[in-house]
Amino acid sequence: MTKTAFVFPGQGAQVVGMGKDAYDTFEGARSIFDKANEALGFDLKTLIFDGPDEQLKQTANTQPALLTVSVAFLKLLEGSGLRADYVAGHSLGEYSALVAANVLSFEDAVRTVRARGLYMEQAVPSGQGAMAAVLGAEREALASLCEAISAEGSAVELANVNCPGQIVVSGTAAGVQAVVERGKDEAGAKRVIPLEVSGPFHSSLMKPAAEQLASILAEVEMKNASIPVVANVTAREEVAGSELRKLLVEQVYSPVLWEDTICYLIEQGVDTFVEIGSGTVLAGLIKKMDKSVRIISINNISALEALQVN
């Protein structure tokens, strides 16, 4: 019995022009972009299609933009007859998963992620936080190094456990710089690459943003999931709306356990992963974990048409 998971990308997958072919071709996609503009009160659609790139990259714009594109393609997939047994999303992508599972309405989700992006940008003054991608290190060794550096007074933590050999760390600028300097010798890293980001996401420094987000989410209706959602914070499935609300708040300052999420889904018998939205970042991560599973990326109309032919 084959099982399918729909997975949704997070920040970093954005590109100017994403989703335009869907908007131009299908009324169902058009309605999602138009709903986003209406819910937010500004022209997100034009920013997505025409840029400028610098403006699209701003966290408070990137988050609603990626959500909108993912949900537009999700709407088109509904016509293909393909159904998900599970859903999951990487960081911001978890909101797309919650729309797919009928936990959140699209309008509530797009307003919430716009606020989430603003709060995340504002949580730590510019230059005080940082993130870096660590390649080739063992997870336990890197966690131990982060604990040692944090104990010395410069907080740094695991932020995204993406796949074996690819982990992102986040924290104070000094803490991340220490990982850059010591990662090879003390954690066996092959490379440590500083990332261009506007804050130390998924670290304890984001707790002020989480508190603000909690007050927004308290006002938003969150239903029980119609499809099990595998949450970033726990890498386990959840259906209760009240629990998913709590996990969204924790997610802001907790590591994204993506490797664990994919392993859990494979353990549940998932053999087909459908990445919905911009880019192929998640497809690349999943391939590194298990080459035997089927991975489909729905990020343009031709991919959608190929799926319907199959």
The CATH classification number of 129-197 equals 3.30.70.250
Q: What is the mean pLDDT of residues 33-50?
A: 98
Which fold does the domain 3-123+205-309 belong to in CATH? Answer: Malonyl-Coenzyme A Acyl Carrier Protein; domain 2 (3.40.366)
Query: Residue 1 above 80 pLDDT?
Result: no
Report pLDDT digits (tens) over 244-296. Answer: 999 999 999 999 999 999 999 999 999 999 999 999 999 999 999 999 999 99
Task: Point out the residues that are catalytic.
Answer: 91, 202
pLDDT for position 310? 54
- Residue 79 binned pLDDT confidence (cut-offs 50, 70, 90): confident
CATH 3.40.366.10 location in the chain: 3-123+205-309
Query: Residue 309 above 60 pLDDT?
Result: no
Report pLDDT digits (tens) over 188-234. Answer: 999 999 998 889 999 999 999 999 999 999 999 999 999 999 999 99
Q: What is the mean pLDDT of residues 30-53?
A: 98
Instruction: Supply the mean pLDDT for the chain.
Output: 96
DSSP per-residue string spanning the chain: --EEEEEE--TT---TTTTHHHHHH-HHHHHHHHHHHHHHTS-HHHHHHH--HHHHTSHHHHHHHHHHHHHHHHHHHGGGT---SEEEESTTHHHHHHHHTTSS-HHHHHHHHHHHHHHHHHSS-TTSEEEEEEES--HHHHHHHHHHHHHTT--EEEEEEEETTEEEEEEEHHHHHHHHHHHHHHH--SEEEE---SS-TTSGGGHHHHHHHHHHHTTS--PPPSS-EE-TTTSSEE--HHHHHHHHHHHTTS-B-HHHHHHHHHHTTEEEEEEESSSSHHHHHHHHH-TTSEEEEE-SHHHHHHHHH-
CATH 3.30.70.250 location in the chain: 129-197
pLDDT for position 13? 95
